[in-house]
Chain A
Amino acid sequence: DSGVTQTPKHLITATGQRVTLRCSPRSGDLSVYWYQQSLDQGLQFLIQYYNGEERAKGNILERFSAQQFPDLHSELNLSSLELGDSALYFCASSVGGREYGYTFGSGTRLTVV
């Protein structure tokens, strides 16, 4: 157990639907990062939050949004889902400094049918 908890582990939903992925960071970590992993795109950075504030945005679609709550857990909302959104979505957390690596959760596998 890495200490980063992601729920649900698997999600199957239809095109056009909306889903919410949840992440609880490791105790003491203030930064949360979301990544999308697909076969053709590799690991793509989506967004970073630090202590409740958005810090960096990557290749995140307008249909996607995220937030980090006062208890530091984070949610990634995906709406108007398309077949191409099927992927593994990872959350990672870190203390926040440049010299620190991430601790990854085990991911949520999203399948859009």
Chain B
Amino acid sequence: AQSVAQPEDQVNVAEGNPLTVKCTYSVSGNPYLFWYVQYPNRGLQFLLKYITGDNLVKGSYGFEAEFNKSQTSFHLKKPSALVSDSALYFCAVRDALGGGNKLTFGTGTQLKVEL
């Protein structure tokens, strides 16, 4: 089965500093990778996706992600963190095995941006 792993339960960063939220994937075939963000008591919001093409993908709210095939990684980055970026971040992979077209999510990483 396709899967993603988020090795960090929590990431702390100071406002204005760059942030990275890590994700590694395990897929057979070409990976379709996604990042979502969840604010408290809200649904998940789409940030960005990698389907094919450039390894650096730009998304919403100034976020970007770097696809690295050799390291099977898809890390989420932002050059300058904001306190308002504090939220729960999920990496996901498209999984079409067994029929259907679902997204399989990682366990999530809590990002805390402090003043």
A43 adjacent to B105 (CB under 8 Å): yes
A31 adjacent to B43 (CB under 8 Å): no
User: A58 with B43: in contact, given A42-B108, A99-B32, A101-B49 (CB under 8 Å)?
Assistant: no
A64 interface residue per 8 A CB criterion: no
By size class, the interface of chain B is: 20 to 34
A56 to chain B, nearest CB (A): 2
B66 to chain A, nearest CB (A): 18
A56 adjacent to B102 (CB under 8 Å): yes
User: A45 with B102: in contact, given A98-B32, A98-B96, A101-B49 (CB under 8 Å)?
Assistant: yes
User: A104 with B101: in contact, given A42-B107, A43-B90 (CB under 8 Å)?
Assistant: no
Which A positions have Cβ atoms within 8 angstroms of B? 2, 4, 31, 33, 35, 42-43, 45, 48, 50, 55-58, 90, 92, 94, 96-99, 101-107
